[in-house]
Structure 1
């Protein structure tokens, strides 16, 4: 049994290891004089505070205060013990290790995991042989070649075939002197029927860690009745493999990702392989699950942007939005590939060829544009409710952005996209409760208008500022004269509030302002419930006059702000085109007049 690694060997590893090469696998470094700087891999930051001093073989972060040498860096980044970090660097930089006899107690768990990884590597080789050199695997080989995959890519990804005889693998491994106890813990066999292989009669995709070690498998169903089995089967989480922390194809793509400073996240094994077949060698895929924060962190420090290429179906679009928000929350700019003519990259490659797929990648659009485009397909942008719902969903994107400048700029883009003023969009962003109340009102009104149905949950709508002002007027109808003199229907943004105001005005003109008359005019269960609840609770019977005056002033201010935005939009429009100066002067004067009214509260 080897003993403890000698101090001389440790010093030799530390001296001969290229700390720039090691750190550079995780961090984009930039030289400044004799030092190299980058964003710290141990905490989130935007301004580089992580410094490497190659002459001394050390690193230091001035933000989180992490520091050390090349060995401690590998320990931290890989989460491995000191002896394993030394051993890994020794192999990487060709240092022969020497040991002190009798003092080293190996980590039994780490040793066992290493043996299982060696087993998986051998099994992957067996599966690959079965695919490429046996009659039993010929149908699977024909299938994969029929999908446009070359011998070179089959070799690179070490694709294989698991035999249809579900007892074969156990018997084969026993013949190689593997014990039943060891095989029981391998994850290669059924938990309940231990002689039966987990994968059988499937096209096999070996899954490697970032160092290229086979740690798990994915298997695709190819023939027979799929009723009682899934199209894909994947290894479950194991002590040496957690699917949320590994990316399929990363060990093959890492160098290209580092060189190109970008990565494509696609949906599955075949999509990833299709991209590599087409020369897009910086594609990787999550493993049978949604993209995770840990998987994004694997590439965060070596990319300038992420490109998303998930399926075009509903699940794929949901995954795209979730991935956009996660990438943006980690400060990574994101683009989205739109595939025309097929649902995924593998299908596009077969139907239209390599050039079509590479062009789709080169034409990928910014994540914000993608979200706006898909939301406009879901909601009508020409209605107040549609605008509000698009804005609400885009606010999740704004929340994920990492700087106030980005947030403010994007709020302006939302305003342009849905045809509202920046002030209105910003107001909704910073006051979500008012937006949610307005959306609830829209929904209730729409449900009632559809085939005369009445919303069961009408009483659940919470009144916004406009509705609260009107409910205060109902508590003292003498105040309606004041409101009518100051406001009109166009001053109300909330459709329920606008309808209630119109009903009050009509009742007032006819001289009957009873609750029955108001509710009869409204013909709306939502409004009726709100009115009845407010009267019964007496909520608006105190400080009523002041509440109404404050509400009127608030609505007049909002009307002026909307008017100013319309003037500003028109000004921007004519400034960008050949136009005489007369309208420009008029617009400037009107904007100045509105600004004065807002500033002096003279409205």
Structure 2
């Protein structure tokens, strides 16, 4: 499917990149730009920058960059067409369907998203409009879900038949293999298909951008032959349960505004809380909390309160979640529910105000682990006390922040009247001796300062060895007015760039100018298939320093001045460097000629010509206007 340039431009102009990125990353204003933790690589210090003025993003850690379309493509792993259509839908724009496009021409992901969306709508219609669905509708209402909540979360029902959904899907043009890949159908030994979900209450599972990617199915019939209260979609190319947080599509705005999140276990827990007004909540969907889920949540907040069931399984899940969250730099608290309650039952019995009071009393992870040990009888003996304290220190060891470790060790020391030195020895046992009283050794600190890994990544990228002159010329080529771009193109050769990536990009710009008469940087960032070009372009455009108006012999940056003067100065630097390199090569050839007895006169004449050329570059205005 192809959209016209006008349609693409309309979508781009309606989709502000700051608003779009904010749906995935917690951004903070810094000067004219916004910064946040990069969604494309793990980092502790924000290096991901978004410019509302330029409608571009760039990470100075991993060096990914682009515009609103490339951002959606990267973060959602979708095609350009899917990104355009997704942004158009969010903006309320209607793009025409291309009737000539066949299902085979769509990407696999598009097909799976489409069939999951169709399934969710079909299941919801079954719930609301069919006679059979009334039983499931009554089930949801008994759980206290209002009609508005049922609509908001797209709750549904699957008919208690072997192929009811398959037949509906086929009538709407979906291929059998797509149904199987989406986890909606299974294949029998004889090759025939049957519905995977039958006679169950359905909970659609959404991606962070509100696309249906899978389902959770709750048993509600006594005659259901399938074992298990819940069955979930199998993993598919668009659904990986370890990378999905149920409800994030609905709660991310509240999480961003309140700057902390609640983690519950089940679908009903989340929906009940959300309906009651507690909306900064996500669910791990019955699976053990994973690193990928925490990485996803970490885009929005690093403040997390765990609210799992009060039974032993919930307690064990909480203990596992604590260590994993601490390792991922979360500040973690635990809200303990009364025995026999889960978040769903508690809020239905006691209401949202009582639940909020419960959150105010949330314990630190140290208090929770200590309380758990007391309940298990660990504090009845010295050996048990040692095990309990050792478990707490093990959790502290998961932290990456040495200063936080130091304060927590002090807290444990005061709480249990244990010498800090004893606790630090135990801590060093679990950290491999890399930490002592909250500080790394000087040798380690010098070799591994904060952000060192990110800085190493930055130094090894193609744009890291750009000279100041090359960077400024690229910046002017990408941002300058058409006449300035033509002036630069007329006075440089791509071969004069020493950086390979810059040389290739300059060659591309020259070729475009030769054919089209001008260069559109915005279109270049949008349309280029070369990721290295796009990343270099955004790195240069959003660089952390300003252009230089003039250069000394060391090519140092000074203050900002007229763009033409900046361009002339940078061009002179490239020309001078080219001449100096030629003089060095010629000087070497002279030495070889003298050593071999060859006639040196042609080389001497060449050296004088190069000296004259260097003087002309330094002392006259020789550039084409």
* TM-score normalised according to structure 2 size: 0.62
Conserved 8 A contact 1:220-1:231 = yes
Q: Aligned-pair distance for 1:339?
A: 0.9
Tell me the residue number matched to 2:129: 133
Contact 1:44/1:330 (8 A) holds in 2:
no
Structure 1 residues 329, 216: CA separation in 2 closer, same or farther (over 3 Å shift)? Answer: same
Q: CA deviation at 1:425?
A: 1.5
2:371 maps to 1:373: yes
Find the partner of 1:165 among 161, 169, 185: 161
Q: Spell out the pairing of 1:80-159 with structure 2 (5 A cutoff).
A: 80-93=78-91, 111-159=107-155
- Deviations along 1:312-348, one digit per CA (max 9) or x if unpaired, are 2222122112222222222121221211153311222
Alignment partner, residue 251 of structure 2: 253
Indicate the SS of the match to 1:190. Answer: strand
- The alignment partner of 1:318 has SS state of helix
Counterpart pick for 1:192 among 185, 188, 206 = 188
2:295 to 287, 297, 312: 297
* Aligned equivalents of 2:47, 2:385: Cα separation in 1: 42
Deviation digits for residues 212-242 of structure 1, max 9, x if unmatched? 2222111111121578511111110112221
Contact 1:266/1:283 (8 A) holds in 2? yes
Q: Rate the CA distance shift 1:326–1:219 in 2: closer, same or farther, 3 A.
A: same
For 1:252 and 1:168, the matched residues in 2 are separated by 30
- In the alignment, which residue of structure 1 is the partner of 2:608? none
1:284 alignment counterpart: 282
The alpha carbon displacement at 1:24 in A equals: 1.8
Task: Tell me which residue corresponds to 2:22.
Answer: 24
Quickly say closer, same or farther: Cα 1:70–1:392, change in 2 above 3 A.
same
Which of 53, 59, 62 is matched with 1:61 structurally? 59
Task: Pick which of 231-240 and 112-121 moved more.
Answer: 112-121
Q: CA RMSD in A?
A: 3.2
CA distance 1:76–1:190, change in 2 (3 Å) = closer
The SS at the match of 1:264 is strand
2:233 corresponding residue in structure 1: 235
Question: Retained in 1: the 8 A contact 2:310–2:338?
Answer: no
Quote the offset at 1:177 in angstroms: 4.8
Q: In 2, Cα distance between the equivalents of 1:148 and 1:127? A: 20
The CA deviation string for residues 427-474 of structure 1, in whole angstroms up to 9 with x for no partner, is 222236999xxxxxxxxxxxxxxxxxxxxxxxxxxxxxxxxxxxxxxx
Question: CA offsets, 1:327-386, max 9 Å, x none?
Answer: 222212122121115331122234334433333233322223212221232353353312
Runs of 5+ in structure 1 lacking a partner? 436-603
The match for 1:333 is 331
Aligned to 1:71: 69
Counterparts of 1:429 and 1:178, CA distance in 2? 58
SS in 2 for 1:135: coil
Larger radius of gyration: 1
Contact 1:245 1:294 in 2 (8 A): yes
- Give the Å deviation of 1:284: 1.8
The CA distance in 1 between the partners of 2:207 and 2:27, in whole Å, is 24
- CA distance in 2 between counterparts of 1:53 and 1:259 reads 21
Q: CA deviation at 1:171?
A: 3.4
SS in 1 for 2:222: coil
Q: How many residues align?
A: 431
Question: Secondary structure in 2 aligned to 1:187?
Answer: coil
Distance in 2 separating the partners of 1:281 and 1:353: 14
Q: Give how far 1:426 is off.
A: 1.4
Cα deviation digits, residues 221-265 of structure 1 (max 9, x gap): 112157851111111011222122222122221222222222221
Q: Contact 1:12–1:95 (CA<8 Å) still a contact in 2? A: no
Cα gap change, 1:107 to 1:119, in 2 (>3 Å): closer
CA distance in 1, matches of 2:148, 2:327: 38
* C-alpha contact 1:221 1:231 (8 A) present in aligned 2: yes
Label 1:176 to 1:332 Cα distance change in 2 as closer, same or farther (>3 A).
same
Counterpart Cα distance in 2 of 1:152 and 1:302:
26
Q: Deviations over 1:65-116 (max 9, x none)?
A: 33333333333322334444344345445778899999xx999585343233
User: TM-score, normalised to structure 1's length?
Assistant: 0.64
Deviations 1:161-181 (A, max 9, x none): 212223332334344454445
**Distance across 1 between alignment mates of 2:209 and 2:5:** 27
User: Is the alpha carbon distance of 1:341 and 1:98 closer, same or farther for their aligned partners in structure 2, counting shifts above 3 Å?
Assistant: closer
Give the match's secondary structure for 1:273: helix
Q: Distance in 1 between matches of 2:240 and 2:366?
A: 32
Match of residue 523 from structure 2: none
Matches within 5 A, 1:586-597: none
Question: 1:201: which partner in 2?
Answer: 199
Q: Within 2, Cα distance between the matches of 1:433 and 1:148?
A: 48
- Report 1:359-508 matches (<5 A): 359-381=357-379, 383-431=381-429
Which of residues 315, 318, 329 in structure 2 aligns to 1:317? 315
Task: Tell me the alpha carbon deviations over residues 548-588 of structure 1, each in whole angstroms, 9 at most, x when there is no partner.
Answer: xxxxxxxxxxxxxxxxxxxxxxxxxxxxxxxxxxxxxxxxx
Whether contact under 8 Å (2:207, 2:249) holds in the other structure is: yes
